[in-house]
Amino acid sequence: MASPASPEIQPMRLALIGAGAMGANYVRAVQSLTDVRITAVVDAQVERAHQMCAVIGARAAASLAHAGDVDAVIVAVPSADHRTVAEPLLARGVHCLVEKPFALTEEDCRALIAAAAQGDARLQVGHVERYNAAMQALLAQNIAISEIRTLTARRMNAASARVMDIDVVLDLMVHDIDAVMAVKRAAVTDVSATGTKDHAVAVLTFADGATANVTASRITEGRTRDLTVELKDGAVYALDYIERSLSRDGAPLAVPGDANNLGRQMTSFARAIRSRSATEVSGEDALAVMDVVWRVQKALGLR
């Protein structure tokens, strides 16, 4: 006999704050979801919000006060404005998914963490590569952190005018710093780096002596985004973010899931809110990543 159907869960209503390029990505990603809806798009340039809302049937508003009833918000404004937008919301109990980079100073990061604690609000930071299907498959391998010898990450793009107001560490390398820290799950005790604001190589040393070699570039030909994890017994996991593939010693491993990384991120955020559990990428996690980002920038003379 079939088990009785569970009560239908109403989609979580999200307001998207910020109708720029990242906001557009969220609008595309939400269209295939059933557990989450973007019911309002908020932007001071309300005409941009109207254009996005036409795609998903949401309400356009110049401020959150006019966004209608929502359960949580996605903060996709420029990083320099994350604290200004999210701190008062978190302090009054509004759950927030804040895009990466979390915030540009330690003071701002800590203020957001404190506001979330004050308001008992869920705070998640948008390190979206955690939700790449291949990364989820790698994390599901439950590799013992003591068995990891080295990690090697590469994220290289051709030159682009898309983001040139920040350096390559904050633009691209931040993704892979988060990824290697998520896999290794240990403190970074030493950081060295060489390069420029557009092409950088960093070596991170963990507390147990394991290392991560991380390369980020936006001046190379073609596009590369991969991660290799070498274990002490010689086994090697190879992950390709673009192909969403994972192998161990050359043998392919199963990678369930499609290309909707942002969709999985929103679903994870909604699940944490509904279950009142910890978010998968907490403010503390994101602050630890930013601490390494700042150390890499300092080593490169960019800070």
Percent residues over pLDDT 90 in the chain = 92
152 in the same domain as 294: yes
- Which of 112, 127, 142 is where one domain is finished? 127
Helix (H, G, I), strand (E, B) or coil at 126: strand
Q: How far apart are CA 12 and CA 2, in angstroms?
A: 28
Q: Are 36 and 5 in contact (CB under 8 A)?
A: no
Digit-coded pLDDT (tens) for 37-90: 999 999 999 999 999 999 999 999 999 999 999 999 999 999 999 999 999 999
Look at strands 211-217 and 59-61 and give their pairing: unpaired
Domain contains 274: no
Residue type, 169: V
* Owning domain of residue 227: 130-258+283-299
pLDDT at residue 175 greater than cutoff 60: yes
Please name the residues in contact with 98: beta carbons below 8 A apart, sequence gap of 6 or more.
75, 82, 86, 112, 123, 124, 125, 126
**pLDDT at 5 (0 to 100):** 39
pLDDT at residue 4 greater than cutoff 50: no
251 in the same domain as 146: yes
Helix (H, G, I), strand (E, B) or coil at 67: coil
Digit-coded pLDDT (tens) for 241-267: 999 999 999 999 999 999 999 999 999
- Which of 80, 108, 127 is where one domain is finished? 127
pLDDT at residue 2 greater than cutoff 80: no
Domain contains 183: yes
- Which of 106, 127, 148 is where one domain is finished? 127
Residue found by looking up tokens 């590799």 in the block = 143
pLDDT at residue 174 greater than cutoff 60: yes
Digit-coded pLDDT (tens) for 199-238: 999 999 999 999 999 999 999 988 999 999 999 999 999 9
